[in-house]
Structure 1
Amino acid sequence: MPSTRMGLRWLGFPSFAALLAACSGGDLGSPEGNDGGGSGDTTSVVTGSGGAAPMPAAGATSGGATSSGATSSGATSGGATSGGATSGGATSGGATSGSGGDATTGSGGAGELDPDTITAPEGKIPNTPMPANKINLPRNNWRDGLVSPTLEAGHHQNQPIVINGYVQGAGNAEIVFYDIADPTNPKMLSRIQSPGFDPKGGPKGVGEAESHQTSVARYGDKFYQVTTSGTGVDIWDVTDARAPRHVRLVRLQGINYGDFTDSVWGMYWQGSVIYVGGTNTGLHILDAADPEDVKFVKKIPTSQFGGVSAGPLWAVGNTLVITTPKDNGGIATMDISDPMNPVALDFIAPSKSYICGLYGKHVYVQSPLRVWDVLTDPTDIGSANSPVATLPDSAFRAKGYPAGSEYMSFSDGYMFLGHLRPDAGVSKINVRDINRMSIESRVWGRLEFTNGDDQFSIPVGSLVVLADDELPYRGMVIAAHSMEPDTTPPAVDTVLPKSGATGLPRKSRIGLSLTDNVEIATVHHGSFIVRPMGGQQVKGTFGVYMGIVNFDPDEDLMPNTTYEIVLPKGGVKDLVGNGIAAEFKSTFTTGP
């Protein structure tokens, strides 16, 4: 019952130091339903300069595929085949089974992977030492901390992510892919707009469609993505970064180019279900059993989970964590063991925040920075007035940093907290011990812009990708945050169902919260194994956002059966190729 408390290796360019030196100080300059989106999608493909390229003529198609029933490369409505053919040739670069030391054979009945299964990313994320003169600089030396020129100038960019070894920016019903193997000279691979793109859409005529969160799913060897659109969400096939394909625009009732109301702020693609946070409109649930034909199922009003405005959200196994967008305050947990029919577990209403983030088992709320434990016991997430940890604004001011903040990302025990204009960039905060959080360093953004907002971030090895969303749009830039390359392996922080849990529903999904962001190309049936004890591996689909990974079985689990979860050593990897250091195992038992 709801709580009564609240009413409820990089390839090693030999001249990298010279390239960095050359770069420093350089020019930086209606009813809900589906709209098919295959025809008219535009894609720009560039193989030279890393700068923004013009959009192609209207009517150019991405890869020639349409969304009207296309099932290229064997993607079936039930989801999943492990080892089907890849789409668009996305296996170049040596993504073959067994690469990177994946333990895929002889693992106690798991069986062997198809030799064509993608087990490593196509692209390469750099992971190399950075010079001391690029790290933790004083404000006046901000330019020296930047590694790349400005990318995507004039385009709306929000939360960057990594898919299949390439950096992606998303915003305003548009996605773009970059190869950053040489971070001083990134190469744009593609850019594509949704049929729903409208820079002046909505009642205010400003065309807001900010991509504060996104999520990626793996069906066999095909990668799909859900992103924000002005009137709902877009579904993309992102298997081939050089030719992403728009699959479908799913319109959602009440979503109409809003800011913190009437808009989409959160989404998680767990497998056969996509959960969408529609702010004041509630929680929207989509059926994604067939990723080529995602359909709206139902909407749950905010009144059913404590009135919490539905912003960024995360599905972890049978638990859904919902947090609020800006100008709101709230955290809610829901039981999604029946995935289409969530039931409220608990909620709290902390004082107003801008946006929240989930890392490990904790939700981080800001500003000021406060922390609640939401996964240890989702039925009791504590009191709104009693976070388990706090980092006061005075800690930032004591270091001469701005206290105001908006967005955040995480990696290997660090938070990268984005700051407000005119002090663009992020603070790197040690959160390994939430009771002793400390500000370690500052990464400045492009301070040449008085209203610059380089506050969206994703750490990649010793670098961090920053993105801006202020008019006039200024795209992305890459900066340095560490002198040392990333050699820290990801580890499992939380597993749901909990190890040893019994009486689990047969529709249960398995969720892992890891200590670092995960490369989806390394999440497959050889690196994430679910099986009855001594039995054959269960097949299904995978969902990933940052460090949250889920497995959704194709069929209901068997009754009264003990299952084990196995992550072989070296299988699941972070964005720069560090695999988990030791085999992880956990068990749970279903009920009648």
Structure 2
Amino acid sequence: MALCALSILACGDDDAASTDAGAQAQDAGSDAGPPMRTPFCDPSAGAPGPYPAPDAFPAPRGPGVPAVTFEESALGAGCAFLDGGEWDVTDHHNLGVIYDGYLLMPIAPEFGGGGLAFFDLSDPCAPTRIGSGSSRQMRESHSIGFSSHGGRWAVVDGLRRALMRDAGGVQFWDVSDPTAPEAVSSLDLPGFLYPDAYARVTLSVFWQVPYVYVAGADNGVYVVDATNPRNPVLVRQVSFEPTLRAGHVQAIGNLLIVTAAEGPRTVLLDISDPEDPQPIPGGDFDALDENGRAREAYFTTATGGYVWYAKKEDGGGLMVMDIHDPTQPRYAGSYRSGGNGGYVFLHEHYAFVGESSVARIYDVSDLSNIRVVRELSLPGDLDTIVPLGNLALLSVDALPDGVDPNDQGSAIAPWRAEPDSNAPRVTWAWPQDGAEGLPPTSRFAVTFDEMIDVQSAWEGSVRLHRAGATPDEGRVAGVVSAQETIVTFSPFCPLERGEYVLEIPAGGVRDVSGNAVSEAFTATFRVGVP
């Protein structure tokens, strides 16, 4: 299958405009010029100096996921509902993640008008909302990306309602103060069209700093330079032939994974030039069930060298494809549950899948023998279950008739009795250990077996340095970013030819329960012609 890419500069297209949140779309200006190929590179900068200690990052303000033990009888049942505040009138939230020690929950109705809310989970069955912010230009977000470069930022999906024509794309937030998150800019993307909720809207985002990759349904994938989150710039739009309804997009180092919304197809792209994604030979494939037949998935996640698919109707459950070799994806496992899949997340050797009428937790330690270990319920279209240590966030897309919509769209439920005390573990690296001939614009990423505390992934805990020298002497300046289970190191400047080591030292990166990496990880790569 062929891939067609089209480059569109925001300053030269009326449909691609960066605006302040709450303001009308405006052209970025004819003098904006093309984006830099290496936005952070300063050739005159001196050596970055020695690494800080892996655990010297600022402590999170909130408690994270607390170490609470539950009785067996309490497992699987919601113990608290979550209310996002006065703007949270539809109780549509979708997902939630831990950020700065607090639960960050989007207020995200499909038709726009939402916001972000932060909760203290010190007592998980009596969470306290400590702050929230609202925006008329935010819509349903199936993912949240983060950047710690020059502040604390988040990116979500956006929608700007207008009398003559709706527009939308992505929206950026300043989340440096969890008590008062603030929308600071929006970027309209070409081709966006609402009210069709699937065909031409934005469905997910992934922030591999400085670039945000945006899944735009039938419009393909957008590449946005968010070096300055207050003034993001559209760099490129990538379309697919035949059309791929891009639902979820994730970047793991030089690899971009794009999966279809409500479809079986996946496309793997080489983003070693982050502004110019290119097809990987053999990397256009369908998710398969146990009988080798292509099956539709509602949504996916990629981690550990696998793509995990929440299977739709026709049996529901889970499908897994192995992408350790992106040129030869292959079937790895599946489970037929009788449900209707929504979203899927991974924690240790468990997969969490919302299946409309119920949420299921699967033991995936043996992909040839996937099995259900627990079921959880919440009235409504239960599409989302997010693992948070020994807790789970349950969220419905729609409440059933007759159910009071007041604050019952999302709930906290314990799923395991004992608190999470397991150290996060690296499960995959891309580029892979031993890779040669890498382009100088490469980025380097690892996946973990659980969601990571974003602030703990920083310059002291994720390191790239030249081989043959001490880490401090060979240190490469760059920026670290994290989203869910994926942690990325992006060099500031193109790398010189030679051998490099990616290092995750013990004691630095932490999971959302505060457990630090206990086993150091290293991978070696060679940049330039082998």
The TM-score range, normalised by the shorter chain, is 0.7 to 0.9
Matched, 1:127 2:67: yes
Aligned to 1:530: 464
**Higher helix residue share:** 1
CA contact (8 A) 2:54 2:506 kept: no
Aligned to 2:386: 458
Distance 1:442 1:506 in 2: 47
Distance 2:175 2:236 in 1: 26
Aligned to 2:326: 378
Structure 1 residue 115, shift from structure 2 partner: 12
Aligned to 1:546: 484
C-alpha change, 1:183 and 1:116, in structure 2 (3 Å) is closer
Distance 1:40 1:334 in 2: 35
Aligned to 2:188: 251
Aligned to 2:34: none
In the TM superposition, what whole-angstrom CA distance separates every residue of 1:493-515 from its partner, at most 9, and x where no partner exists? 11011111111100000111110
User: SS state of the match for residue 376, structure 2?
Assistant: strand
In the TM superposition, what whole-angstrom CA distance separates every residue of 1:503-551 from its partner, at most 9, and x where no partner exists? 1100000111110100011011110011112133222222322101111
Select which of 138, 141, 156 maps to 1:211: 141
In the TM superposition, what whole-angstrom CA distance separates every residue of 1:99-118 from its partner, at most 9, and x where no partner exists? xxxxxxxxxx9724399963
Distance 1:526 1:277 in 2: 31
Aligned to 1:325: 261
Aligned to 2:504: 567
Counterpart residue type for residue 216 of structure 1: F
Select which of 334, 338, 341 maps to 2:273: 338
CA contact (8 A) 2:40 2:493 kept: no
User: SS state of the match for residue 247, structure 1?
Assistant: strand
Alignment of 1:325-404 (within 5 A): 325-326=261-262, 328-345=263-280, 346-349=283-286, 350-365=294-309, 366-367=311-312, 368-382=316-330, 387-393=331-337, 403-404=339-340
CA contact (8 A) 2:320 2:334 kept: no
Alignment of 1:200-349 (within 5 A): 209-219=139-149, 222-230=151-159, 231-257=168-194, 258-303=196-241, 307-326=243-262, 328-345=263-280, 346-349=283-286
Distance 1:114 1:582 in 2: 16
Distance 1:195 1:553 in 2: 36
Distance 2:521 2:210 in 1: 25
Matched, 1:497 2:431: yes
Aligned to 1:139: none
Distance 1:440 1:37 in 2: 47
Structure 1 residue 372, shift from structure 2 partner: 4.1
What's the % identity of the aligned pairs? 25
What is the RMSD computed on CA atoms of the aligned residues?
Answer: 2.7
Select which of 393, 407, 410 maps to 2:343: 407
In the TM superposition, what whole-angstrom CA distance separates every residue of 1:365-407 from its partner, at most 9, and x where no partner exists? 213345344531112213xxxx32110135xxxxxxxx22211
C-alpha change, 1:116 and 1:239, in structure 2 (3 Å) is farther
Distance 2:72 2:370 in 1: 24
Select which of 15, 23, 43 maps to 1:32: 15
Alignment of 1:7-156 (within 5 A): 31-37=14-20, 111-113=50-52, 118-124=57-63, 125-136=65-76, 145-152=77-84, 154=89, 155-156=91-92
Aligned to 2:364: 431
Structure 1 residue 263, shift from structure 2 partner: 1.2
Aligned to 1:91: none
Distance 1:38 1:190 in 2: 19
In structure 2, the gaps of 5 or more residues are 4-12, 29-37, 43-47, 160-167, 287-293, 400-404
User: SS state of the match for residue 202, structure 2?
Assistant: coil
C-alpha change, 1:184 and 1:427, in structure 2 (3 Å) is same
CA contact (8 A) 1:37 1:195 kept: no
Matched residue count? 462
User: SS state of the match for residue 227, structure 1?
Assistant: strand
User: SS state of the match for residue 406, structure 1?
Assistant: coil
C-alpha change, 1:80 and 1:114, in structure 2 (3 Å) is farther
Structure 1 residue 457, shift from structure 2 partner: 2.4
**Higher strand residue share:** 2
Aligned to 2:97: 161
Counterpart residue type for residue 438 of structure 2: L
Distance 2:204 2:276 in 1: 18
Distance 1:224 1:134 in 2: 36
Runs of 4+ in 1 over 6 A off after TM superposition: 114-117
Give the alignment's TM-score, normalised by structure 2.
Answer: 0.81
